[in-house]
Structure 1
Amino acid sequence: AAHPTISPMLKFAMLLAHTWLAHSWMATAPPIGCAAAPLSRSAVRMASQDELKKLVGYKAVDDYVTSGMVVGLGTGSTAAFAVERVGQKLASGELSDILAVPTSVRTKEQAESLGIPLVTLDTHSDLDVAIDGADEVDPDLNLVKGGGGALLREKMVEVCAKKFIVIVDESKLCDGLGPGFPLPVEITPFCWEHTLRKVAALPSLEGCEAKLRLGSAATGSKPDGDETAVTDNGNYIIDLFFDSPIKDAVKAAEELKSTVGVVDHGLFCGMTTAVIIAGSDGISVKEA
């Protein structure tokens, strides 16, 4: 059969549509290597930090979440956009049969408000994918997390995922972990001052300044009150401040984990599958 003839006007309309899509805010590339998506530099430069967070949060869900999956939902301002996207796609019918494991009380509340079916690790210990933000990302894709105070639950959920997708803007990239964001450590309230001293004296953390987190647990290193911050698990958080990068993040993670009184810490080493980055050159994906 003969192919229908396309009029010059229709061809022009199709070209305009293609050009608009190529520069639209949600245009993205497949998650292979570090290939940048066809997002214009000017568009990214004009974007606010929240808009950049939305870009990577939506892309993570669009690229890595399919129907029938069990998904770990992270905590924080960037992860909230991924949760939002899951809810949108469930409501529209683009996704179905999704079960999700939240990493904090506030993520649980957001997911419930969006109608996302929730389960726990007690019934679903094997996750297909987990999506979360990070406070720092080094060249080996090791992370500092826990500014939002949910580091223990985040790590428990994300270590169970076949794929752990990290979503950040380029300001979170660093040459070495530590100076750009304080390292949080969740500790038991019992004799917390003793534990703080023990942590600060660890050889791998030499030179750090340890401070008890005050205010709400989600405020990171910026206290919003005078009371001790308490996590969803009823524990305290100490934040470790560094002037220079942690020399060996893996060793530091081991020493922290073996310190009595430490419940867990914000070093996520060797866990990342891929990092989706919103930067001046568009959206890129760096794989482990």
Structure 2
Amino acid sequence: MLSLQDQMKHAVAEAAVEQIRDGMILGLGSGSTAALMIKSLGKRIKNKELRDIVGVTTSFQGEVLAAELGIPLKSLNAIGHIDLAIDGADEVDPNFQLIKGGGACHVQEKLVAARANRFVVVVDSTKLVNRLNLAFLLPIEVLPGAWHQVKIELEAMGAKAELRMAQRKAGPIVTDQGNLIIDASFKDGIIDPINLELQINNIPGVLENGLFVNLVDQVLVGEINNDEVSVRDLVKA
């Protein structure tokens, strides 16, 4: 039997797929909830419920899954636009600002989200927060030769910063782009995501950080109420 959290993820993934129409170019996100969305999409394509779909993936893992399910894929450089991008998030604040990058895919995820005409975020209710970065670390992708320099700069900004280490191998996590990840936390959380995103990205050696600012059009939230699973369409504060 599925856990309550998994039931929420399934429900919100299905709700997102309901927004897909024939002929769309789709941004296919990363993470556990996005994977459920990709599986549902693959099933509908196989059953001919959806036609002429093209996917643009945000991670190598998502590319492998979509290919196995027979979803036609193109690279970001091969398309002129994305109709709809669907992805998860590690944290969502009341203004629809996000932290992403728990899976170290946030560079490609942000590229896809920025290209999309509509960006829909799918989460379970545990991902909703009043302020970003109080519980979840902010991922920052850095060039391998610059990680220590970037760490010093982040600490000068008041952050605790650590190189993300791999769990099942010696050494650090390496991204799909061949870079490293520094995870940062600020004592009082992130009060001003808009300015902090720019400030961090201006540090030499930083490729991109996991703050997704002013990109989200809709947030679908899986919830449990009285032991019943439901999906709430969140309203921006």
Scaled to the shorter chain, the TM-score interval is over 0.9
Amino acid corresponding to residue 115 of structure 1 in structure 2: G
* Cα pair 1:90 1:116 within 8 Å, conserved: yes
Paired residue secondary structure (1:89): helix
Aligned residue among 2, 13, 38 for 1:57:
13
Alignment of 1:36-185 (within 5 A): 47-62=3-18, 64-185=19-140
| Distance of 1:191 and 1:74 partners within structure 2 | 28
8 Å Cα contact 1:187-1:236 kept in structure 2: yes
Q: CA deviation at 1:58?
A: 1.3
Q: Give the counterpart letter for 1:213 in structure 2.
A: R
Instruction: Say if 1:214 and 1:224, in contact at 8 Å, map to a contact too.
Output: no
Q: Which has a greater percent of strand?
A: 2
Are 2:220 and 1:285 aligned? Answer: no
Which residue identity lines up with residue 245 of structure 1 in the other structure? Answer: G
Distance 2:67 2:152 in 1: 40
Give the whole-Å Cα distance in 2 for the aligned partners of 1:237 and 1:72. Answer: 23
Contact residue 30 and residue 87 of structure 2 kept, 8 A: yes
Aligned match of 1:249 in 190, 193, 201?
Answer: 193
Please report the TM-score for the alignment, with normalisation by the length of structure 1. 0.77
Q: CA deviation at 1:225?
A: 3.8
Q: CA deviation at 1:287?
A: 4.4
Matched residue count: 231
Equivalent of 1:269 in 207, 213, 216: 213
* 1:190 correspondence with 2:145: yes
Aligned to 2:184: 240
Question: Quick one: distance in 1 between partners of 2:179 and 2:66?
Answer: 24
What amino acid sits opposite 2:231 in the alignment? Answer: I
Alpha-carbon distance change, 125 to 198 in structure 1, aligned in 2, over 3 angstroms: farther
**2:162 pairs with one of 200, 203, 211:** 211
Taking the aligned partners of 1:210 and 1:231, their CA distance within structure 2 comes to: 18
Structure-2 separation of matches of 1:76 and 1:96? 25
SS of the aligned residue for 2:101 comes to coil
- 5+ residue gaps in structure 1? 1-45, 216-222
Query: After superposition, what is the alpha-carbon deviation per residue over 1:159-194, rounded to whole angstroms, capped at 9, x for unaligned?
Result: 100000000011100010001210000000013211
User: Which blocks of at least 5 consecutive residues in structure 2 are unaligned?
Assistant: none
Cα offset, 1:235, TM superposition:
0.3
Point out the structure with max Rg over C-alpha. 1
- Report the CA distance between 1:274 and its aligned residue: 0.4
* Shift of residue 47, structure 1, vs aligned partner: 4.7
TM-score (norm 2): 0.94
Match of 1:35 in 2: none
Aligned-residue Cα RMSD (Å) equals 1.3
* Corresponding residue number in structure 2 for 1:37: none
- Runs of 4+ residues deviating >4 angstroms: none
Would the alpha carbon gap of residues 91 and 105 (structure 1) be closer, same or farther in structure 2, given more than 3 Å must change?
same
CA contact (8 A) 2:22 2:52 kept: yes
Give the C-alpha shift of residue 51 in structure 1.
2.0
Tell me the CA shift for residue 123 of structure 1. 1.3
Cα deviation, residue 125, structure 1 = 3.2
Identity %: 37
Counterpart amino acid of 2:163? L
Deviation, 1:200, is: 2.6
